[in-house]
Amino acid sequence: MGNALLQYATVLVLSIFVGIEIIAKVPSILHTPLMSGSNAIHGVILVGSMLVLGGATTHLQEVLGFLAVILATLNVVGGFVVTDRMLEMFKAKKPQAPKANDEVAS
Amino acid sequence: MSRETLIDLLYLFSATTFVLALKGLGSPKRARLGNMVAAFGMIVAVGATFFKYVDGHALHHVGLIALAMVIGFIVAVPTARYVQMTAMPQLVAIFNGVGGGAASLVSITEFVHVKATHPATYVALEVLLGVLIGTVSFSGSAIAFAKLQELMTGRPITYPGQQILNGVFGLGALALIVAILIQGSTALLWILLILAFVLGVAFVLPIGGADVPVLISLLNSFTGLAVAASGFTLGSNLLIVAGTLVGASGILLTRLMSKAMGRSLANVLFSAFGSVVSAGPGAGAEERSVRSGSPEDVAVLLSFASRVVLIPGYGLAVAQAQHVLRELAEVLEGKGVEVFYAIHPVAGRMPGHMNVLLAEANVPYEQLKEMDEANLELQTADVALVVGANDTVNPAAKDDPSSPIYGMPIINADLAENVLFLKRSMRPGFAGIENELLYNPKTTLVFGDAKDTLTKVVAAVKSA
């Protein structure tokens, strides 16, 4: 028991450092997509929700687990789709040829 | 290789994709790919979970799980796809909130489940933390959503003794957790749930609309921590890694965001920013005169300028005027006028929101200048055209120490030869602060809907 807890704590501490390290230098244009993307990633609670509903033995647990799976799916799917939509906009700049100063009209 | 080992390896793969995705999201080139990589990792993790054993048996209720997923999918995709780009911050808030709700529900279910089997103390502690943090994130996000969607006032809601009362709620929740650890009573768990819900609401009420994006980032981080807590409960390394990554990076991101506004995180959370409509030197503000002009005046001024800086703000997005603005820029360029956009880091409702809105209108990326660069260019600009921005060009941030936004970096529109302000009315901006720039002798105001005005300006420039 104690061993498992220690192992989880190790993973926790290392993840904290990775999380901080990864974000350190991000341009402010990307703050919003980054927030939205990490929002989708914590949707991994869907895995937890599935396990809880899959292990449910009473009606109360079934109801709670069912709700959890719905909410978590909203989080995952909505999160990824919104983020993709934001980032799609960033790509749209590409087709524009390098700025020619004379006649770009219409 | 046993089935469980294989599943764990797949989880390890997913966790790796999440790390890579976060890394990718930090660079403009790889951001979209990064998001897709994470989505793929998520599909792998969810797929693998269907084959997992719980308490020594295959998953029960597979049909129910699939049904719940289908429901979630059917609601989420159209919402995420077709909601207006201007409403994006609300959307992130609500998707974050449901994540927190899910984490809380998982923890509650696990509490009920574990209590029946083997109530070891350390298990219960993370369960309770998961319930507390997840629920705070849920109700807090709901209020943040209501504020941004203007279902309720965006102004801070304050009352006497608010901080003390919030402190009491917080301590009460912790005391309850201790009581539940000792007693193990399920009744107390429901009380904790209610208290956490109230705490989330009470925590967000005093935060003004302009600061809500920072708050959403913080709540996003909270949800991450709640997920990590559930990971402890369920013994899942994947949840611990993913939750902690989001929790840690979220806190850092929150600090970066409040720094972009020139304020500390504590100031954002506890100062009820924007509740006082500045009682600064402009006591008789209503009396002072402003100069207003017509779209035709604007057109003349723009046509004869050699260098124009466009300063867009949230009002531009609300009026859906980004396409007309781009048209104006193109027409002006056709006449040999040099045009670029000055983007304040917090223009719009979230950092980077304005870039997204302009990119949607096909504004070439090279024309977008960040604040520092824009401020250099403004010194030699003939015209600064401010469309729907207000607080981000307010000189009070530089000269008035009594102003609540004092110290926030701004775009120095006042450096340009002429300043044109397209505004709906004399109403102050989102943060509720009077703007001195409006009374500057260089400034010409054009009242009306930004889209209408700009359409008229474009027509006038074309015929000039």
Report pLDDT for A91.
58
Phi, psi for B375 (deg, rounded to 5): -65, -35
Predicted confidence at residue B318, as pLDDT, reads 77
Residue A4 touches chain B, beta carbons under 8 Å: yes
Orientation angle between helical segments B322-334 and B450-463, nearest 10 degrees: 20
Give the H or E element holding residue B98: helix B88-117
Which chain B residues are closer than 8 Å to A38 by Cβ?
22, 25, 220, 224, 245-246, 249-250, 253
Segment B326-354 mean pLDDT? 84
Give the pLDDT mean for A73-92. Answer: 86
Token pair for A80: 């990824």
Residues B356 and A93 sit within 8 Å (Cβ to Cβ): no
- Which of B82, B249, B252 to substitute to test the interface with A, most A CBs within 10 Å? B249
CB contact under 8 A, B239 and A44: yes
pLDDT grade, residue B429 (50/70/90)?
Answer: low
Q: How many CA atoms lie within 13 A of B23 on its CB side?
A: 9
Residue B289, Ramachandran bin (φ over 0: left; ψ between -120 and 50: alpha; else beta):
beta
Report the gap between the CA of A104 and the closest CA in chain B (Å): 6
CA-based angle B421:B407:B428, to the nearest 5?
A: 35
Q: Which two tokens stand for residue B388?
A: 């729907």
In a mutational test of the B interface, the residue from A12, A15, A53, A67 whose CB has the highest number of chain B CBs within 10 Å is A15
Q: What is the strand order of the sheet B307-312 is part of?
A: B368-370, B338-343, B307-312, B383-387, B418-423, B443-447
At residue B389 the predicted structure's pLDDT band, cuts being 50, 70 and 90, is: confident
Q: Which residues does chain B have within 8 Å of residue A20's beta carbon, measured at their own beta carbons? A: 248-249, 252
* Inter-chain touch B247–A19, beta carbons under 8 Å: yes
Q: Band the pLDDT of B430: cuts 50, 70, 90.
A: low
Q: Which residue has the higher pLDDT, B15 or B464?
A: B15
Q: What is the predicted pLDDT for the residue at A97? A: 41
Rounded distance between C-alpha atoms, residue A20 and residue B457, angstroms: 48
- Say if the Cβ atoms of B238 and A28 lie within 8 Å: no
Q: Say yes or no to pLDDT of B218 above 90.
A: yes
Instruction: Check CB contact under 8 Å for B59 and A50.
Output: yes
For residue A12, being part of any structural domain is answered with: no
Residue entry with tokens 């294989």 = B6
Residues of chain B with CATH 3.40.50.1220: 291-463
Q: At what angle do helices B186-204 and B88-117 cross, to 10 degrees?
A: 160
CA angle B15, B18, B24 (to 5 degrees): 150
List, for residues B398-423, the tens digit of each pLDDT value: 887 777 777 788 888 888 888 888 88
SS3 content of chain B, % helix, strand, coil (to 5): 65, 10, 30
B169, B199 contact by CB (below 8 A):
yes
Q: Is residue A3 part of a domain?
A: no
**Cβ atoms < 10 Å from Cβ of A25:** 8
Is the pLDDT confidence value at B232 over 80?
yes
Query: Minimal CA–CA distance to B370: which of B267, B283, B260?
Result: B260
Q: Which of B461, B447, B303 is nearest to B383 (CA)?
A: B303
Q: Which of B334, B338, B360 is closest, CB to CB, to A89?
A: B360
Query: If we measure between CA atoms, which residue out of B444, B439, B379 comes closest to residue B411?
Result: B379
Q: What is the phi/psi pair of residue B106, to 5°?
A: -60, -45
Site from B23, B33, B35 to mutate, A interface, most A CB atoms within 10 angstroms = B35
Q: β-pairing, B57-58 with B53-54?
A: antiparallel
Query: Which one-letter DSSP state was computed for residue B420?
Result: E
Of B392, B397, B390, B383, which Cα lies nearest the Cα of B425?
B390
Largest CA distance in chain A: 73
A3 to chain B, closest Cα gap in Å? 12
pLDDT at B279: 40
How big is chain A by its Cα radius of gyration, in Å?
A: 21
Question: Which CATH fold topology does B291-463 show?
Answer: Rossmann fold (3.40.50)
pLDDT attached to residue B278:
40
Q: Which residue has the tokens 């799917």?
A: A77
Q: Which two tokens stand for residue B291?
A: 């100069």
Which residue of chain A has the CA closest to B37?
A80
Cα separation values, B186 from A91, B108, B179, B189, B193, Å: 51, 10, 11, 5, 11
Q: For chain B, what is the mean pLDDT? A: 86
A87 in any annotated domain: yes
Q: Residue B120's pLDDT is what?
A: 58
What lies within 8 Å, CB to CB, of B29 at 6+ separation is none
Each residue of A9-51: pLDDT tens digit?
Answer: 999 999 999 999 888 778 777 888 899 999 999 999 999 999 9
Quick check: A84 contacting B, CB < 8 Å? yes
Question: What is the SS3 assignment for B343?
Answer: strand
Q: Judge whether A7 lies within some domain.
A: no
Q: Indicate whether A94 pLDDT > 50.
A: no
Known catalytic residues of B?
391
Q: Which residue, among B233, B46, B443, has the nearest Cα to A50 in the 3D structure?
A: B46
- In this prediction, residues B358-375 reach a mean pLDDT of 83
A63 contact B CB<8A: no
- Tell me which residue range forms the domain holding A47: 27-91
Instruction: Select from B88, B98, B228 the Cβ nearest to the Cβ of A82.
Output: B88
Chain B interface includes A70 (CB < 8 A): yes
Alpha-carbon dihedral sign for residues B276, B281, B282, B284 = positive
* A11 within some domain: no
Residue B167 tokens, joined: 């402190």
